[in-house]
Structure 1
Amino acid sequence: MTASNRWLWLAGLFFLGWLVYLLTPILSPFLVGILLAYLGDPLVDRLERWKLSRTWGVVLVFVLFSLVLLIGLLVLVPMLGKQLVRLYQLTPQMLDWLQNAALPWVQAKAGLPEGFWRFDRLKAALSGHLDKTTDLLGVVVAQATASSLALLGWLGNLLLIPVVSFYLLRDWDLMMARLRGLLPRRQEGLVVRLMGECHEVLGAFLRGQMLVMLALAVIYSVGLMAIGLELGLLIGVLAGLASIVPYMGFVVGIGAAIAAALFQFGGEALYPLIGVGAVFMVGQLLEGMLLTPMLVGDRIGLHPVAVIFAILAGGQLFGFTGVLLALPVAAVIMVLLRHVHDLYKLSELYGESPSGSEEPPTPA
């Protein structure tokens, strides 16, 4: 690649980033549509292999997605809503328990001085805020309807997602073929190979890791509710979502579950605490021995720190659109870095230095 071509590519990448930044307010429904089309394409391809037309395959996949969404709205969302309201109601009691039981115990065991926590100020601030927000739903509705144009724009974007997803999913293979046809002929093999690696990483992460997160959320929620934990569903779902980063779901979930069990049952009740530990140990064993090897494998190649940084950086730069773009961009960057690493290992720069350029031996 000549110097002029390099500058042309750099200018094109800079222009693309600038364009994404300008179009951030309208990109969200299209990015969500692309994500849904990407996730649903393997199912449609399988239906095509069963001698079903592409359009009817897309319709069946859309019906399946719609049923899953409907079940979530009718069953899961009301249950989570009740637990969120219950958490809101229990917050003052939790603050009292922290002040009068939990933190004094930690203070005594750690030998901390009196007044170390300064908890009265925090409690006063939180209690005052809770007293002002007596109607959570009313506050949310008031904020959402503060601007009628903003509300209409939000509803329009929401309705645009299934339309974009349907047409992208129907024409997915055709678009991929046309994009391949636009590639420079001499670099087609290399670009196709790199994109194949990106597809493998993204497919393993988006499909596999999301299924792992869903399975862990079900395991944790069912287990915690079985031992009688009042906020078991909420904590289980939170732990499952946090499992997008390995081990974070376990740490967040078991910490929140132990705190909730101590608050609900008291420190003298050992069986609920043993039950919490057993639930999360079973979840970790199933994840490590069954779920991750079967659904994800070892193809991701995204370090947990890289996942955290990509999500935070995308949200900081481009908001919700950046969060949607973070993991795909991180996967592409990781694949390109592997390729650059291989090229570096084959370059003269990495090779052994000539005998004439070796450093002289140090005198004895």
Structure 2
Amino acid sequence: MQRDEDLATIAAFYRRVQWTALLLGIGWLVWLLAPILTPFALAALLGWLGDPMVDRLERRMSRNWAVTLVFSSIVLLMLLVLVLLLPVLEAQVMTLVDSLPGYRDWLVQTALPWLERRTGLQILAWFDPQRLFELIRTHWQSAGGIAAVVLGYVSRSGIALLAWLANLALLPVLTFFFLRDWDLIVERIATLVPRNHYDTVRALAQQTDEVLGGFLRGQMLVMLILGVLYALGLWLVGLDLGILIGLVAGLLTFVPYLGPASIVIFGGLAALVQFGDWQHLLGVGIVFTVGQLVESFLLTPVLVGDRIGLHPMAVIFAVMAGGTLFGFLGMLLALPVAAVANVVLRHLGERYRHSRLYAGDTPAILLDIEQMPPASDEQAG
């Protein structure tokens, strides 16, 4: 009997080692292929988000027609956004380029002297043009001269631009195939799950799909609404770069506190450089306050809620860790991976609380009673 238990323990240990090795191997492979996996990951994300709509339409028409309708709607929506935003963004970028000398002068003539008077540090010495020229010339010489630096930069930029264009061209094609074959892909993945774990994996997958799907769809709407709200508010304040700052702040809303911080920092800096008075700073503060009230009391409770169940610090860590390990691909997959990990950890915690390791000699029924919330006075009476 003891021998059988020992053999079962050893077998379980080796199974865990095999699963750990498999997961590490997959992670290593993703790290190697991260540059080319980005369009696949983004297309899979779009296919996953659009699949529920395809499934609803499939009740009234064939899957191919449903996929074509949903895919056409996604493409038309993206084209509409590009047509509306590209001219505005182009004008904003040109305004930013034209404004850079003004920001430099404000930094050297206003901000740094004010800091020197308050701190007593000789900050302007670090911005001496001759010193900067010597530093640049030294680095260029150590890198093989200006020609080599410029040539290397142009080559890297050209290759990066070609790769970006190739990924952009692949995205609609991959999205169409993911939309069409999503159910087939899920079915084939399900056949690879060990049969003795199938019910558990299926339940966890359904829970993750519900939690993460609702969160991402709601978060995208929150980002869009806040971007428009911030851009319109800063434009009404009179900031030349208000639309650009507002749209960037809306996109950064998916990282907790980063979107509001960008409004305060970049909006406040733009107001100081452009106007230099407290009235426009107050206007930026009003836009920030209105945006936070709308997000906290209307958008997030209605559209997002607490579906993902992650603490803001966990979200920030997931995005930063994903970006550090896998670049843009990691940032793209950070929240889905974090949501899956959160669901799995909850499941493992529940199993641990019902295990003999946690309970010891205490009967399970007593543990369930101990974990029940205390009764109110009315219930006790």
Query: What TM-score does the superposition give when structure 1 sets the normalisation length?
Result: 0.82
Paired position in structure 2 for 1:133 = none
1:6-35 CA-partner distances (Å, limit 9, x unpaired): 222222222322332333343222112101
Matched residue SS, 2:120: coil
Aligned CA distance change for structure 1 residues 276 and 182 (closer, same or farther; 3 Å): same
Percentage of matched positions with identical amino acids: 50
1:296-338 CA-partner distances (Å, limit 9, x unpaired): 1111122222222222222222233333332222222122222
The answer to whether the aligner puts 1:215 opposite 2:225 as a matched pair is yes
What is the alpha-carbon distance in structure 1 between the residues aligned to residue 235 and residue 66 of structure 2? Answer: 38
Paired position in structure 1 for 2:66 = 57
Paired position in structure 2 for 1:343 = 351
Matches within 5 A, 1:67-216: 67-108=76-117, 111-116=118-123, 118=125, 120-121=127-128, 125=132, 142=154, 146-147=158-159, 153-216=163-226
Paired position in structure 2 for 1:357 = none
Paired position in structure 2 for 1:136 = none
1:330-360 CA-partner distances (Å, limit 9, x unpaired): 2221222222222222233334788xxxxxx
Q: Report if aligned partners of 2:233, 2:287 keep a CA contact under 8 Å in 1.
A: yes
CA shift, 1:125, in A, is 4.6
1:268-309 CA-partner distances (Å, limit 9, x unpaired): x51x22322221211111111111111111111222222222
* Aligned partner of 1:26 among 12, 32, 36: 36
1:196-226 CA-partner distances (Å, limit 9, x unpaired): 2222332133222122111110100011112
1:134-172 CA-partner distances (Å, limit 9, x unpaired): xxxxx9x9557745xx66554433222211211111121
Aligned CA distance change for structure 1 residues 121 and 202 (closer, same or farther; 3 Å): farther
Structure 1, gaps ≥5 residues long: 130-138, 355-364
Structure 2, gaps ≥5 residues long: 1-10, 137-150, 363-381
Which of the pair is proportionally richer in helix?
2
Paired position in structure 2 for 1:134 = none
Aligned residue pairs, count: 337
Moved more, 174-183 or 249-258: 174-183
What is the alpha-carbon distance in structure 2 between the residues aligned to residue 198 and residue 250 of structure 1? Answer: 28
Paired position in structure 1 for 2:14 = 4
What is the alpha-carbon distance in structure 2 between the residues aligned to residue 77 and residue 337 of structure 1? Answer: 43
The answer to whether the aligner puts 1:302 opposite 2:320 as a matched pair is no
What is the alpha-carbon distance in structure 1 between the residues aligned to residue 80 and residue 174 of structure 2? Answer: 23
